[in-house]
């Protein structure tokens, strides 16, 4: 019924995406625009992160898909993105993890949006992996990363452990640019007891140029 009242439009071309066989929910992308999704560019894992996996480059249709979740609360996109993230994770064969958590957004953003996009993705990923999804980190006061330049982003936000971390943790976020947020979150997880941190983001920003 939701598909009929609020139909999805492909972010790449605006057309209605094809429905899955068997009458399942429509995919967020049409087949042509799905073919335009670029793989995540190579990038070294940030400090404190043992492996960093991302299925897409943060441009074109992938950028719009993440924006629909992050800024417009289009939750119909979340299962598809989570599926792509889990597929990339399985293909990369990273170290085994025991719990899924996320890099929380600022309290101001959460109050204004009414949700945390990283948490939505993390819980969807946890369900697909049959792992517990837990809030392990607290975000300390500081400016959001959105809108900052690369040099300012590298200072990163600050996190603190809110609960003891599992020995191995899967850290989820929606998109990463410099990796500063992942590095700061990994540091807090290790302070909380984690010995292995694997990062999983929906997209990774291509290098300038």
CA-angle at 201, arms to 197 and 63, nearest 5°: 165
Q: How far apart are CA 131 and CA 127, in angstroms?
A: 6
* C-beta of residue 175 within 8 angstroms of C-beta of residue 202: yes
Whether residue 20 is predicted with pLDDT greater than 60 in this model: the reply is: no
**132 vs 34: CA distance, rounded Å:** 30
Helix (H, G, I), strand (E, B) or coil at 46: coil
Q: Domain extents for the chain?
A: 38-204
Query: What is the CATH T-level fold of the domain 38-204, as seen in this structure?
Result: Rossmann fold (3.40.50)
Instruction: Encode 141-159: b = buried (16+ Cβ within 10 Å), e = exposed.
Output: eeeebeeeeeeebeebbeb
pLDDT (average), residues 167-194: 95
For 60-97, how does the pLDDT look when each residue is reduced to its tens digit (9 = 90+)?
A: 989 998 988 888 777 888 999 999 999 999 999 999 99
Burial grade of 139 (CB within 10 A; 0-12, 13-18, 19 or more): buried
């Amino acid at each position: 019924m939701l598909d009929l009242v609020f139909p999805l439009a492909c972010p790449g071309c605006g057309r209605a995406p094809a429905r899955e066989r068997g009458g399942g929910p429509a995919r967020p992308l049409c087949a042509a625009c799905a073919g335009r999704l670029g793989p995540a560019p190579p990038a070294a894992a940030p400090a404190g992160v043992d492996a960093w996996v991302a299925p897409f480059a943060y441009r074109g249709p992938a950028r719009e898909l993440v924006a629909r979740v992050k800024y417009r609360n289009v939750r119909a996109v979340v299962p598809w993105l989570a599926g792509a993230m889990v597929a990339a994770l399985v293909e990369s064969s990273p170290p085994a993890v025991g719990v899924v958590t996320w890099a929380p957004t600022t309290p101001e953003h959460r109050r204004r949006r009414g949700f945390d996009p990283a948490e939505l993705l993390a819980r969807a990923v946890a369900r697909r992996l049959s792992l517990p999804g837990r809030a392990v980190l607290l975000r300390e006061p500081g400016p959001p990363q959105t809108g900052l330049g690369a040099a300012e982003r590298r200072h990163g936000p600050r996190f603190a452990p809110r609960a003891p971390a599992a020995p191995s943790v899967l850290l989820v976020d929606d998109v990463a640019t410099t990796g500063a947020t992942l590095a700061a979150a990994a540091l807090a997880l290790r302070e909380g007891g984690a010995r292995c941190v694997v990062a999983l983001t929906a997209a990774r920003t291509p290098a300038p140029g």
